[in-house]
Structure 1
């Protein structure tokens, strides 16, 4: 919900599986944003979940596509992290 650097350096860089899953999930979410042409109508200093209202526009589905893209990125990142971390711990013990 704010500055992403602590999450990158404190959590993701220690576990390369979670870092790669985050990159892939973000790329898929960004691809969805590009395909459906999501537009932001306000500039802000930082990108956070509190900035979702800047995607509102009357008569369009822009806000809905924004929420779908965010959920897609979060869900894919979480699922890939769970899967990759599970396979990485399995290969360590074998």
Structure 2
């Protein structure tokens, strides 16, 4: 499948990806970072001169977030990106029976 010519691209910085995933999964604690899983395969492919050469293909299998031990350029504190909402007086009361 070929990308359309002249179409706008919308890159997503790692921090925004982590923030989106934290909010989607209602995560408010811990350090979470981006990970990717790949699937590799060996193939025989023609090079630019037309000769067949052994080659490899890497497919992105999944992209997500997972717990990390420390913050970095791809890992962020959930408490900062998705702090828990303050509880209202009504939500602090025990449920009626």
TM-score by length of 2: 0.26
Highest Rg: 1 or 2? 2
Q: Which structure has more RCO (C-alpha within 8 Å, separation ≥ 6)?
A: 1
TM-score by length of 1: 0.27
Which protein is richer in helix relative to its size?
1
